[in-house]
């Protein structure tokens, strides 16, 4: 049997770690050609080498900050011919910074979250949408969060950015209606990645504790859900998915049985 994504070009933002990296691996295994975006070039380069070695994948790297539209535009105009025909966009790059009351939050953290999670997603979508519209097909997957469905204590600005992603997914579903372009919003709960380390500004010990005492989701779990959505028959569009570890009921109710 042929591979599910044989020859399909997929662009994944935030591919240097966590969910994005796992999605790159799962897509490569399924025959996709990849355009991978992140800021940490060394990470992307190592991943590219691994994907070539394991799956003979064709990979084009874009070392860019999704907050910088001008740079993204330049990089897009330099995408090699072989990778230009993007069919799948995974809007995954994103982060949380800080976990404190709104009146204790730092302006720099707020700006980083808003600029990356909302504006970065919009910038990349703005550049990929014309390619999909031109051929009247394709799929955009937005990684929002459980944090975009219910606010939790000290989540304030991060939650607001993910509510915005959810709103943008709903808007895209309406705006692309009448085309063959599909939109899927995915809201994961707790996934063990570098997310908490980034949120706690590099405090690995504090980050580790978030995932202790239960089985969190992995990047691979989300990657396989994404694969499922993008490989369904063309007439089926999964609009929205909420996925949590079995031990997680809500953002604040997590059963840590053995703690
Ligand atoms: P990671 O920290 O492991 O990965 C985040 C990725 O985003 C990295 O590849 C990072 O690359 C990239 N990124 C961050 N900022 C930028 C930027 N300005 N420009 C380009 N790339 C950027 O976390 P996750 O894999 O967990 O996070 C992926 C997405 O999933 C995020 O949107 C997050 O909000 C969401 N999510 C995560 C959950 C979790 O529990 N882990 C749950 C729900 C949603 P680099 O630093 O190299 O630029
Ligand atoms: C990441 C999951 O619950 O830490 O979006 O906000 S959570």
pLDDT in tens, 52-85: 999 999 999 999 999 999 999 999 999 999 999 9
Rounded distance from Cα 16 to ligand 1 centre (Å):
9
Q: Which one of 38, 66, 189 would you pick to mutate in the ligand 1 pocket, going by the greatest count of ligand atoms within 8 A of its CB?
A: 38
- The response to whether residue 248 sits with its C-beta less than 6 Å from ligand 1 reads no
Instruction: Indicate which residue's Cα is closest to atom 3 of ligand 2.
Output: 251
CATH of 9-243, one of 2.70.98.60, 3.30.2130.10, 3.40.1640.10, 3.40.50.720: 3.40.50.720
Pocket of ligand 2 (CB under 6 A): 145-147, 155, 190, 195, 251
Under the banding of pLDDT at 50, 70 and 90, the label for residue 259 is very low
Contacts of range 75-81, beta carbons closer than 8 Å, 24 or more positions apart:
76/127, 79/35
Tell me whether residue 111 is exposed, middle or buried, using C-beta atoms within 10 angstroms of its C-beta: 0 to 12, 13 to 18, 19 or more.
Answer: middle
- The residue ranges of every structural domain in the chain are 9-243
Q: What is the pLDDT of residue 258?
A: 55
Instruction: Establish whether residue 185 lines the binding site of ligand 1, counting it when its CB lies within 6 angstroms of any ligand atom.
Output: no
43: pLDDT confidence band, cut at 50, 70 and 90? Answer: very high
pLDDT band at 25 (very low <50, low <70, confident <90, very high): very high
Q: What spacing in Å lies between the alpha carbon of 96 and ligand 2's midpoint?
A: 8
Q: What is the pLDDT, as a whole number, of residue 200?
A: 98
Mutation pick for ligand 1 pocket among 14, 64, 89 (CB with most ligand atoms within 8 Å):
14
Q: Is 98 in the pocket of ligand 1 (CB under 6 A)?
A: no
**89 pLDDT exceeds 80?**
yes
How far apart, in whole angstroms, are the C-alpha atoms of residue 50 and residue 34? 13
145 lines ligand 1 (CB under 6 A): yes
Q: Which of 55, 123, 158, 211 is catalytic?
A: 158
Q: Is 158 tagged catalytic?
A: yes
Average pLDDT over residues 172-178: 98
Nearest 10 degrees: Cα torsion 96, 101, 103, 108: -20
Is any atom of ligand 1 closer than 6 Å to the C-beta of 17?
A: yes
> For the whole model, what pTM was predicted?
0.98
Q: Please tell me the predicted confidence (pLDDT) of residue 72.
A: 98
CA-based nearest residue to 74, from 123, 113, 115, 32: 123
């Amino acid at each position: 049997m042929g591979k599910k994504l044989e020859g399909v070009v997929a662009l994944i933002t935030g591919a240097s770690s966590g969910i994005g990296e796992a999605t790159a691996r799962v897509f490569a295994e399924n025959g996709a050609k990849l355009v991978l975006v992140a800021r940490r070039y060394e990470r992307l380069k190592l991943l590219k080498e691994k994907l070539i070695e394991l799956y003979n994948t064709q990979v084009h790297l874009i070392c860019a900050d999704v907050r910088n539209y001008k740079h993204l535009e330049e990089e897009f105009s330099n995408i090699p011919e072989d990778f230009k025909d993007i069919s799948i966009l995974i809007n995954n790059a994103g982060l949380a910074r800080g976990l404190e009351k709104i009146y204790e939050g730092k302006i720099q953290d707020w700006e980083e979250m808003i600029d990356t999670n909302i504006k970065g997603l919009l910038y990349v979508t703005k550049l990929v949408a014309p390619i999909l519209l031109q051929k009247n097909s394709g799929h955009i997957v937005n990684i929002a969060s459980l944090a975009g469905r219910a606010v939790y204590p000290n989540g304030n600005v991060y939650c607001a950015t993910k509510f915005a992603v959810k709103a943008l997914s709903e808007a895209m579903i309406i705006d692309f209606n009448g085309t063959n372009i599909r939109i899927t919003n995915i809201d994961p709960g707790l996934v063990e990645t570098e997310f908490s380390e980034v949120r706690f500004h590099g405090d690995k010990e504090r980050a580790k504790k978030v995932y202790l005492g239960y089985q969190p989701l992995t990047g691979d779990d989300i990657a396989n859900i994404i694969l499922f959505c993008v490989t369904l028959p063309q007439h089926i569009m999964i609009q929205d998915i909420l996925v949590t570890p079995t031990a997680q009921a809500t953002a604040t109710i997590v059963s840590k049985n053995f703690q």
